[in-house]
Structure 1
Amino acid sequence: MRILWRILGFLKPHKKLVLAAYVSLIGSSLLYLALPRLVGESIDQVLDQGDFSFLVYAGAAIVGLTLIRAVFAYFESYLREALSQLVAYGIRNAMYDHLQRMSFAYHDKQQTGQLMSRATADVENIRWFVSLAVVRMSYLIFLVGGVGTVMLLTNWALALVTMAFIPVLILRGAIIGRRLRVVWLRAQERTGELTTILQESLSGIKVVKAFDRQDHEGRKFSGKAGQLADEHLRVARIQASNMPMMTFLFTAVTGLVLWFGGREVIAGRLSPGELTQFILYLAMLQMPVRMIGFMINLASRAVSSGQRIFEILDADSPVKEKAGAVALDGIRGHVVLDHVSFRYDAASDVLIDISVEVQPGQVVALLGATGSGKSTIVHLLPRFYDVTGGRVLIDGMDVRDLTLQSLRNNVGIVQQDVFLFSATIRDNIAYGAINATDEQVEWAAKVSRMHDFIMGMPQGYQTWVGERGITLSGGQKQRVAIARTLLRDPRILILDDSTSSVDTRTEFQIRQALEELMKSRTTFVIAQRLSTVKNADLILVLENGRIAQRGTHEELLAQGGLYREIYELQLRPQEEASQAAAAGEAAS
C-alpha cells in the first residue's frame, strides 16, 4: 500500500482535475443508479393502474437521463486519461532529473537498458493503473455501495442474499494480488534485461558483425525473450484461474435472487417492479465484479513497477551539493591535491596519498600504465567522484564546499571516449554554451582546426552528424569535443588523451592552437605522445595509485626509473617515427 500511496502522491499537483473527475463520476453513477429504480416503479405503476401511457413518460425519462449521464461519462473518461498522462509526465520528469543529478559512481553500476525500461514500460504500467484503476475503482466502489444501499432500503433480506458473494471476491482478490505482484516484478526485471540486451547489441552492431556474432546475440535475445514470455504466461494462468470462479459465483447469486425474490413476490412482501429492480441492479454489479480481477492485475503491476521506479528516485548520490555551498567565481586556477586517496566502493584504493600543487597556468602531464589512476585524478577535480581521503582544493577552497554548477563551469574536460549528440555540428560545439554566437562557435572551431573541414561540408555548421557523431572520423570528433570545451572558456582544462585519435600532423596543428590558450589555464593532460609530455611544466608518473616520480622531462630522464622506461618503450619510438614522417613529407 505504501507504494500505491506514493504513486497517488503524483496527483497532488492536479487536485482540481481530480475533483472534477470525481464530480463527473458521482454524477454519472447517480444517474446510472436511478435507471433500475425508474424501470421498477414504471412496472409497478402499469401493473397497479393499467395505465400504459406511463411507459411513454418513463421511456422518455430513461432516454433523457442516459443522455445526461453520457455527458458526465465523457468528462469522467477524458479527465481520467488526462490525469494518467500528467502522472506519467511527472514521474518521467522526476526520474530523468534525478538520474541527471546522480554521480558517476551511481551510473557506473547501472545498466542503461534497465533504466530505459523503468522510464518507459514501468511508467506506462503506472499510467494504466491511474487511468483505469484509480478513478475507475472509485466509480466501482461508489456503484457497489449505491446499489447495496438501494437494495437494503427496498428489501434487506434479498439485499443480503445479493451482496453475500462480494466479501468472498475481495478476499480472493487480495490473495491473487499478492501472487501477481511477485510475478509482475519478475516480468518487469526480465523486460529491463531484454532492453539491455537490445540496447547493447544495437549500440555495438559493428562489433557484433565484425566478429560474426549475430547468431550468438540472437540466441541471447531469444532466451531472455522466452523468459519474459514465461512470466507473462504465469500471470495469464493466475488470472485465468480467477475468472471461472467469479462467473460461477455471479451465476449462482442470480439463481438465488430469482428463487428467493420469487418467493417474496408470491408472499406479497415484494412487488414485481422491485424484483425487476433487484435483477437489474444485479446485472449492474456484473461489470464491477468482472472488473475486480482486472483491477487487481493493474494494481499488482503498478506496485511492481512503482517499486522499480522508486528504487531510482530513492537512490542517494554520493556526490551532493552541501547546504550553503559557495559559487566559484573569478578563479586563478591554483589546484592542490592534499593527501588524496580514493577507492571505488569497497575495492582497494585506486589513489593512495596523492599530494601535488599546481600553479595557475601550469601544464601538468599525467603518465602511467592503464589503471594507474590518471583518469581518476582528473575526475576528482570537477567532483565526478568525491575523495575518500584528503582534499582537492581550487584557489584554496575545498571543491566539496563549492556549488557544482560553478565548479564545472570552471573545469572543462575533453573525455577520452568522445560523445556527440544526434544534432548539427554547431549544436554539438555549442552544447555547453547554448547562447554562444555564430562567431564564437566559429572561433572555437578554428582554434581546434575544425573550421575548414566544416565549411567544406554541404550544409556547413548545420550539417547533421548522426547518432554519436557516426558521420565523423575519430579525429574529427576529437576536435569537435575540444571546440566544445574551449567555447566554455574554463580556467582549468583537462585533456583526457585528447589528441590520441588524430595523426601526427593534426596533433601538431591542434597543439599549436592550444599553446596560447593554455598559458592562462591550468591544464591537465593525459597523453601518450612525447610532443605533449616534453612541453609540460610538471610530469606526474603514476604507478599503482601512487606518484612514482614527478618533475620535468629533462629532470625525469636524468633520474631514470619508470619514466625512462616509458620513454624508451613508448615515447622515444613515437618521436623517431614523427621525425621520419616529417622528413618524408619534406622530401616529397
Structure 2
Amino acid sequence: RFAYELREDVFGHMMSKKYGFFESETSGNLLSRCTMDIEAARNFVLNLLSQMIPTFLLIMIAFYFLLTLNPVYSLFFLIVVPLLVYLGMDFQKKQRAHWRRIRDEYGVMNERLQENITGQRVVRGFLGEEREIRRFRDTTDTYFQEYLYIAKLRGYYNNLMPLLISIAATSVILYGGYSDIISLAAVGSLVAAVNIFNTMISPVSVMGRLIVWSENARAAIDRINEITQRSDEENVGAEITKNAKPPVIARAVSFSRGSRVILNDISLEIGKGEFVAITGGTGSGKSTLIGMLPRFYDLDSGSVYFNGEKYDSFTLPEIRRRIGLVPQEVSILSGTLRENIAFGNGEYTDEEIEKAAKIAHIADFIDSLPERYNTIVGERGITLSGGQKQRIAIARAVISRPELLIFDDSTSSVDAETELAIFRSIREELKGTSVIVISLRETGLLFADRVLKLEDGRLRAVSDVRKELLTIVDDSVSQGVI
C-alpha cells in the first residue's frame, strides 16, 4: 500500500511539473525514480516494521536480564553499545554517496537501454552495435564497482559488529571467572550472561542490514524529493470567455535560457480565423515562441493575452483546452488508432473521430485496415510511417475544434500535395480557428495569410516567400547546418 500510494504521488507530481522539467531530466532517471527508488523506500519501511522493532525489544530485554543477573555484566553491555552506534554511523556516512551514485547510474542504464531499443534503426544503420555495447558496459561497470564497494564495506562492518559482542562476552567470562575464584559467584549466572551476549550477535547483524537499507532508502528518497520539491505549474485563474477580440496577442515578450536570449521583445497578434506562418533558421527559437502560447514556459518579461485577457488570469486547463497542438516530435501512444485520435479531455463520438481523421487526410488509410479505428498501432506507433504518425497527431489536435491550432513543423513527413489538402480542410471545416504554422516549406508559407520570420530573437514580416526560403537555406549552408 505504501509503495502504491507513493508511486501515485510521485507520478502526480511529475504530471504537474513545468514543461521545462522534462527538458532537463532524462527519461531513464525519471523511470528509475518511479520504480527502483520507490521499491527501495518500500523495502526499508517493511523491514523497519518487521525487524527493527523486534530487534530493539530483544536488545532491551537482554539488557534487563543482564542487569538482573549482575549489574557489572550490564556495564560491559553499555560499553559495547556506544561502539556499535559509532560504527553504525560511520558505516552510514561511508556508503551514503555510493548509494546515490548507484541510483544515478541505474538511471543512466535505463537511458542507454531506452535509446538503443527505440533507436535500433539508427544503431544498425550506422554499424554502431559495438560502440553501444561498450557504452553500456562502461555504465554497468561503474554500477557494479559502486555496488562492490558497498558489499565490501558491509562485509567489514557486519563482521566487526559481532566481533565486538564476542569481545564483550569474553570479557564477561574473564570477569565472571575471576569473581568465582574470589567470591564463589554462581556459575549459572555467568553461563546465562554469556548466552545472552551470544544471542545479541543476530540482532546486531540485523542492525547492520538495517543501516544498509536505511542509506539505500535515504538515497532513493532524496532522488524522489528532487521531483516532488520542484516547482509546479501554476493553475489559478478564471474561465475564458469568447469575445470579438483577437484570440492571441503577445506584447513585448522576452525569454532566455541561461545567458542566451531566445525571444527578445517580441509582439504578435493573431486574428480570429487567421492563418499565420512563422519561419526562420535552425535554432532561431520558433518552437520556443509557440511553446509560450500553451504556457509551457514562464516568460522573462512581457504579456500574452487570450481573447483580450491576460494569460495569468486563466487556469492552465482553460488555456490548453482551447489550443490544438501538433508538436514537432509526434508521440503515438500504444493502443488503437481510435484511442490516439480521441486522446485528451472529452469523450468523442465515432462520428467526431472519423471527421477529424478526414480533416487530417488519414481516413482513407484507416478505412483500408481490417480493424479500421480499432487497429493496434504498437509502441510509439511502430507500425506507422512518419507521415501517418503526423496525420494522426493532426487529427488528435483538430478533434476538439480548438480556437487556436499550432503546427510545429509537424507536416515535414507529409508530401506537399497532402499538406496543402490538410490546410484547405482545416480552413473549410474549422471556420474561425486561428492557425499558426512553423514551417520551412513553401507549401505552408504560400498558403498563409501572413508570413513572419524569427531572426535574432525578433519577428519581422516577410513579403517575398520564395526569396526568404532561399536566404534561410543559404544561411544554413554557411553555418554548416546543412
Q: Is the CA contact 1:265–1:275 (under 8 Å) kept in the aligned structure 2? A: no
Counterpart mapping for 1:288-367 below 5 A: 288-317=203-232, 319-322=233-236, 325-330=237-242, 334-344=247-257, 346-367=258-279
Structure scoring higher RCO (CA < 8 A, sep ≥ 6) equals 2
The reply to whether residue 505 of structure 1 matches residue 453 of structure 2 is no
1:547 positional shift: 1.6
Moved more, 529-538 or 515-524: 529-538
Output the CA distance in 2 between the equivalents of 1:505 and 1:525: 16
Q: Is the CA contact 1:412–1:492 (under 8 Å) kept in the aligned structure 2? A: yes
The reply to whether residue 566 of structure 1 matches residue 468 of structure 2 is yes
Q: 1:214 aligns with which of 111, 129, 147?
A: 129
Q: Give the match for residue 369 of structure 2.
A: 457
Q: Is the CA contact 1:420–1:477 (under 8 Å) kept in the aligned structure 2? A: yes
Question: Secondary structure at the residue paired with 1:465?
Answer: coil
Output the CA distance in 2 between the equivalents of 1:567 and 1:175: 66
The reply to whether residue 127 of structure 1 matches residue 29 of structure 2 is no
Q: Give the match for residue 70 of structure 2.
A: 155
Counterpart mapping for 1:137-176 below 5 A: 137-176=52-91
1:135 positional shift: 5.0
Name structure 1 gaps, 5 residues minimum.
Answer: 1-85, 551-555, 558-562, 572-588
1:176 positional shift: 1.3
Q: Is the CA contact 1:493–1:521 (under 8 Å) kept in the aligned structure 2? A: yes
Output the CA distance in 1 between the equivalents of 2:158 and 2:415: 70
1:438 positional shift: 2.0
Deviation by residue 1:31-65 (Cα, 9 ceiling, x = unmatched): xxxxxxxxxxxxxxxxxxxxxxxxxxxxxxxxxxx
Counterpart mapping for 1:38-187 below 5 A: 86-133=1-48, 135-187=50-102
1:164 positional shift: 3.4
Question: Secondary structure at the residue paired with 2:230?
Answer: coil
Deviation by residue 1:295-346 (Cα, 9 ceiling, x = unmatched): 11111212222222212211124x4234xx11224466521111111112x1
Question: Secondary structure at the residue paired with 1:421?
Answer: coil
The reply to whether residue 428 of structure 1 matches residue 330 of structure 2 is no
The reply to whether residue 284 of structure 1 matches residue 199 of structure 2 is yes
1:415 positional shift: 0.9
Count of residues paired in the alignment: 471
Deviation by residue 1:135-167 (Cα, 9 ceiling, x = unmatched): 522321122112212331343222333453222
Counterpart mapping for 1:410-449 below 5 A: 410-449=322-361
Counterpart mapping for 1:197-236 below 5 A: 197-236=112-151
Question: Secondary structure at the residue paired with 1:357?
Answer: strand
1:350 positional shift: 1.0
For 1:320, the aligned partner's letter is E
Output the CA distance in 2 between the equivalents of 1:436 and 1:518: 17
For 1:470, the aligned partner's letter is I
Distance 1:436 1:157, change over 3 A: same
TM-score (normalizing by structure 1): 0.75
Q: Give the match for residue 194 of structure 1.
A: 109
For 2:99, the aligned partner's letter is W
Output the CA distance in 2 between the equivalents of 1:395 and 1:431: 26
1:213 positional shift: 0.8
Output the CA distance in 2 between the equivalents of 1:177 and 1:542: 55
Output the CA distance in 2 between the equivalents of 1:567 and 1:227: 49
Distance 1:181 1:570, change over 3 A: closer
Q: Give the match for residue 479 of structure 2.
A: none
For 1:321, the aligned partner's letter is N
Q: Give the match for residue 542 of structure 1.
A: 454
Q: Is the CA contact 1:367–1:526 (under 8 Å) kept in the aligned structure 2? A: yes
Q: Give the match for residue 580 of structure 1.
A: none
Task: Give me the identity figure in percent.
Answer: 33
Bigger Cα Rg: 1
Distance 1:97 1:459, change over 3 A: same
Q: Is the CA contact 2:281–2:472 (under 8 Å) kept in the aligned structure 1? A: no
Q: Is the CA contact 1:116–1:192 (under 8 Å) kept in the aligned structure 2? A: yes
Q: Give the aligned CA root-mean-square deviation in angstroms.
A: 2.3
Deviation by residue 1:412-450 (Cα, 9 ceiling, x = unmatched): 111121110111111111111452122221221122222
Q: Is the CA contact 2:404–2:434 (under 8 Å) kept in the aligned structure 1? A: yes
Q: Is the CA contact 2:420–2:444 (under 8 Å) kept in the aligned structure 1? A: no
Q: Give the match for residue 283 of structure 2.
A: 371
Output the CA distance in 2 between the equivalents of 1:210 and 1:303: 43
Q: Give the match for residue 530 of structure 1.
A: 442
1:194 positional shift: 2.1
1:178 positional shift: 0.5
Question: Secondary structure at the residue paired with 2:454?
Answer: strand
Distance 1:486 1:149, change over 3 A: same
Output the CA distance in 2 between the equivalents of 1:246 and 1:454: 69
Q: Is the CA contact 1:542–1:549 (under 8 Å) kept in the aligned structure 2? A: no
Output the CA distance in 2 between the equivalents of 1:265 and 1:210: 84
1:465 positional shift: 0.5
For 1:150, the aligned partner's letter is F
Moved more, 258-267 or 123-132: 258-267
